[in-house]
Amino acid sequence: LLPPSNLCLMKIAVCVKQVPDSWAEKKMINGTLDREGVDAVLNDLDEYAVEEALRIVEAHGGNEEGGAHSVTIISMGPERATEAIRKALSMGANDAILISDSALAGADAITTSAVLAKVIETGGFDLVLCGTESTDARMSVVPAMISARLGWAQLTFAGSVVVDPAASTVAITRVTDAGVDSMGASFPAVLSVIEKINEPRYPSFKGIMASKKKTIDVRDCAAIGISVQGAWSLVADSAPRPARAAGIKVTDSGDGGKELVDFLAGKKLI
Amino acid sequence: MSNVFILVDLQGDAVSKTTAELATAGARMGDVTAIVLTQPGKSAAIVSALTGPISTVISIESEDLATHGVPAYADLISQIVTEKKPSALLIASHAFGKEIAGRVAIATDSGIITDAVDVAADGTATQLVFGGSTTVHSKISHGVSIMTIRPNTIEANTATASPTVENVTKSVSDVAKKVRITATQPFVKGGRPELTEANIVVSGGRGTNGDFAAVEGLADALGAAVGASRAATDAGWYPHTHQVGQTGKTVSPQLYVACGISGAIQHRAGMQTSKTIVVVNKDAEAPIFDIADFGVIGDLFAVLPKATEGVIARKS
Ligand SMILES: Cc1cc2nc3c(=O)[nH]c(=O)nc-3n(C[C@H](O)[C@H](O)[C@H](O)COP(=O)(O)OP(=O)(O)OC[C@H]3O[C@@H](n4cnc5c(N)ncnc54)[C@H](O)[C@@H]3O)c2cc1C
Ligand SMILES: Nc1ncnc2c1ncn2[C@@H]1O[C@H](COP(=O)(O)O)[C@@H](O)[C@H]1O
């Protein structure tokens, strides 16, 4: 007789991107982001997805050795993206897949979603978790595109997630500008989580040591069986915007508010 | 002349100001067809509220939209786009609009550009990237040119529209019905203007110490929307929907007044493209002063009430 937990093994994938540090000033070279000049880190917003995936499995028996479930990190990016992946592994994910290929340099969201969907499709996952946005591309479309490509349920902009592994269902509250929606679906589903959902853990010393032994399976396009098309949106030109001209600065000694109003009036803003 | 589709942008059942902006951008490229997607019985009122250069309306009413959300909208739009083959599809740039655009791009094998702040007659989009520090011009080279356009960036032609209206019946595909929405709670709009549509935004940060009365006072005197930094929304002082910045809203009003906000790069990413920036901060070294057209070094609790008084005095 199988123990009940074996009847509901959950396989969760988390899509993470390595991005230039969001605190750094960025610039373009030949129509693409200059990635060499800035520090690369795990997309801050994807840390919330890693954390949420870990909380989901921990609430149902865990993913450590002997635990019922697993969390796999999936990333598309250059070889050095392994650094960002290690951070996710040191938080507690089990293993990782990195799709890295020179043909993918400068990939747009269409290609990125095709690559990620291809890997997810063959991995037998129940749930895929993403961040809401990569802090460099800032498109907020990849999770919806993955869902569209796979024909899986789309549960994005989640402010809370409740999973029932026995019933193979997941419910979220979707939080956007428009309001709050309660929604649910059966597995498999693609989720994205907002940054108010949790507080990502810091990797423990034990976690960091353990992450060094975890597998990062690096594959190229041929290995996942995908041929890459060129980007469908082409950059014609890019230029740094002229810096704002130095403004006026006054120290308030009782008249600051009045001076502010005079400035607005001078500019015909009131 | 080529045919350009726009998705009518709604706030609840009301046509948003962004819709006329989309129509104005679309008319530069071709003849504009506006798609109205709504619940049964609601389209007539929406159609009659449309303004801007719209020649045709395609209107679909379906119960499935409210029940299945983004995938259902994207599915119906993809069906019409596949049938009518417009050269471009313009949608408002917010979470909902961008996700629809992304799904339609996949369904119709098309390229996509998000967060355009301008569109030229030949379909070239202007985007401001890296927190507004860099201008990029780009163009879609495959399929329908699917672009999402940031509210409040294109000056709208709001002439009365008298379009030809086609009421179409279509059903949502099963694959787009995998999610079920069980409850919807729209954010109640306060009396103040919508943040992304406002001409003036007054924002407060950690410097308010949780007391937004002075910020709201100035906002109301100016007829402005109220924004907040993440420090203020994280602390629970102001709702998350009012957060300006990388993980909040991007605004580009005529005037942005930042009060008690230091100007972290993630905050600047959401307001850097404002036409005029005014700052009130007691720390002369705060980085927000670097992008200010006018800055007051001072305590916001002293400066803002005086400014509010001054604005009211000038208006009366
Ligand atoms: C991935 C990521 C995403 C983020 N997204 C956002 C985002 O979308 N939006 C956002 O805003 N931030 C965002 N942040 C956070 C950002 O880095 C800053 O922490 C935040 O903007 C700081 O808010 P603040 O300026 O209000 O607070 P602080 O940096 O603490 O600044 C408070 C300012 O108030 C001034 N002050 C204090 N008292 C007074 C007074 N009485 N009168 C006048 N001035 C006073 C101080 O001099 C100081 O300059 C993000 C961070 C990360 C890592
Ligand atoms: N290259 C990538 N590799 C893995 N995940 C990605 C990649 N690009 C985007 N994602 C995921 O999609 C989310 C939204 O990204 P974007 O649509 O680029 O703003 C991110 O938060 C990630 O979870």
Sign of CA dihedral A75, A77, A79, A85: negative
- A244 or B196, higher pLDDT: B196
In sequence order, the β-bridge partners of residue B92 are B149
Lining residues, ligand 1, CB within 6 Å: A 22, 44-45, 135; B 205-207, 229-232, 243-248, 260-262, 264, 266-267, 270, 280-283, 286, 299-301
- pLDDT bucket at A8, cuts 50 / 70 / 90: low
The answer for residues whose C-beta is within 8 angstroms of residue B191's C-beta and 6 or more apart is none
d(CA A182, CA A177): 15
> A23 pLDDT exceeds 80?
no
pTM, entire model: 0.90
Report phi then psi at A214, rounded to 5: -80, 150
The answer for residues whose C-beta is within 8 angstroms of residue B236's C-beta and 6 or more apart is none
pLDDT at A1 (0 to 100)? 43
Say whether A138 and B246 touch across the interface (CB within 8 A): yes
- A19 or B200, higher pLDDT: B200
**SS3 string of B228-292?**
ECHHHHHCCCCCHHHEECCCCECCCCCEEEEECCCCCHHHHCCCCCCCEEEEEECCCCCHHHHHC
d(CA B265, CA A4): 50
What value of ipTM does the predicted structure carry? 0.89
For residue A191, the ligand closest to its alpha carbon is: 2
pLDDT at B156 (0 to 100)? 95
Neighbours of B155 (CB within 10 A): 10
Collapsed DSSP state (helix, strand, coil) of residue A145: helix
For residue A143, give how far its alpha carbon lies from the nearest alpha carbon of chain B (Å): 8
Give residue A15 CA to ligand 2 midpoint distance, Å: 6
CA angle (A47 as vertex; A43, A53 as ends), nearest 5:
135
- Closest by Cβ to A141, choosing from B98, B241, B310: B98
Say whether A179 and B180 touch across the interface (CB within 8 A): no
d(CA B161, CA B124): 26
The answer for residues whose C-beta is within 8 angstroms of residue B64's C-beta and 6 or more apart is B72, B171, B172, B177
d(CA B16, CA A180): 19
Q: Which of A10, A13, A107 is nearest to A59 (CA)?
A: A10
User: Mean pLDDT in chain A?
Assistant: 91
Mean pLDDT throughout A125-144? 93
Q: Which of A205, A248, A147 is nearest to B277 (CA)?
A: A248
Dihedral in degrees, nearest 10, Cα atoms A125, A131, A136, A142: 50
d(CA B222, CA A27): 36
Token digits for B38?
């709504």
pLDDT at A22 (0 to 100)? 67
Give whole-number Cα distances, B96 to A157, B73, B148, B169, in Å: 10, 10, 11, 23
b or e along A53-81 (b: 16 or more beta carbons within 10 Å of the residue's beta carbon)? bbebbeebbebeeeebbbbbbbbbbeeeb
Interface of A with B in 145-204 (CB under 8 A): 145, 147-149, 151-157, 174-186, 189, 194-196
What's the residue count for chain B? Answer: 316
Report phi then psi at A130, rounded to 5: -130, 165
d(CA B245, CA B230): 8
d(CA A53, CA B152): 37
What's the residue count for chain A? Answer: 270
For residue A229, give the chain B residue with the closest CA: B142
Atom of ligand 1 nearest to the CA of B244: 9
Give residue A76 CA to ligand 2 midpoint distance, Å: 9
pLDDT at A6 (0 to 100)? 47
Mean pLDDT throughout A93-105? 96
> A216 pLDDT exceeds 50?
yes
Q: Does A106 touch chain B (CB under 8 A)?
A: no
Interface of A with B in 11-30 (CB under 8 A): 22-23, 25-28
Across chain B, which has 316 residues, the per-10-residue mean pLDDT values are 94 94 98 98 97 98 98 98 98 97 98 96 92 89 97 92 95 98 87 91 98 97 97 95 91 96 94 95 96 97 98 90
How crowded is the C-beta side of A212, counted as CA atoms within 13 Å?
5
Our measurement of the distance from residue B301's CA atom to the centroid of its chain's CA atoms, rounded to an integer in Å, reads 31
Give the start-end residues of each E strand in B56-159.
56-61, 88-92, 112-119, 125-129, 134-140, 145-149
Q: Assign residue B130 a region: left if phi > 0, alpha if psi is -120 to 50, beta otherwise?
A: left
- pLDDT bucket at A241, cuts 50 / 70 / 90: confident
> A7 pLDDT exceeds 90?
no
Nearest CA to ligand 1 atom 11: B229
Q: Where do we find the tokens 């479309």?
A: A141
- Contact call for residues B245 and B195 (beta carbons, < 8 A): no
CA angle (A16 as vertex; B236, B99 as ends), nearest 5:
70
Mean pLDDT throughout A194-218? 95
d(CA A28, CA A240): 8
Say whether B184 and A155 touch across the interface (CB within 8 A): no
Our measurement of the distance from residue B271's CA atom to the centroid of its chain's CA atoms, rounded to an integer in Å, reads 13
